[in-house]
Amino acid sequence: MTSALRFGAAALTAALLALSWAVPAHATTVSDYQRDIFSATNQQRERHDLAKFRHQACVQKYAVRQAKRMAQQERMFHQDLGVVLRRCHLHKAGENVAYGFDLGIAVVQVGWMQSPPHRANILDPAFRLLGAGARRGDNGVWYAAQVFGRK
């Protein structure tokens, strides 16, 4: 790795650590976390010259439902997207799930955008709808879900 790349990675790590220290984990509300996921995801879409996601109540319901289920069980898993396809009347659906990130912006930038399959969902031009769910388990860990859709 070149020194410029090392410096860039180190600077990014330092900035994210500073951000996580500046905002205590307990200060983040569910609505802030979910709003930050949605906003950070649309920022990534804009950076790649893609249309922003639109909020849609049905995919939002399934994102929140999934985050709640994972938090209650204190484990990460995917839901049956066939149900989402049928109930939301979609032609295409996708999902990203994660846990352990104290901020919504971090789960997007550090988690999903650094993982090729998750990044592919975020940057898939066919997806136009987005729901973002987040809940904290009794163990204090955040669980997050994104549900993507195309009518």
Per-residue pLDDT of the chain (151 residues; tens, 9 = 90+): 433 333 344 444 444 444 443 444 444 899 999 999 999 999 999 999 999 999 999 999 999 999 999 999 999 999 999 999 999 999 999 999 999 999 999 999 999 999 999 999 999 999 999 999 999 999 999 999 999 999 9
Residue 63 has a pLDDT of: 98
In terms of Cβ atoms closer than 10 Å to its own Cβ (0-12, 13-18, 19+), residue 151 is exposed
What pLDDT is stored for residue 28 in this prediction?
A: 82
pTM for the whole structure: 0.80
**Cα gap 21→27, rounded to integer Å:** 11
Query: Nearest CA to 36 among 147, 133, 149, 143?
Result: 133
Partner residues linked to 98 by β-bridges: 144
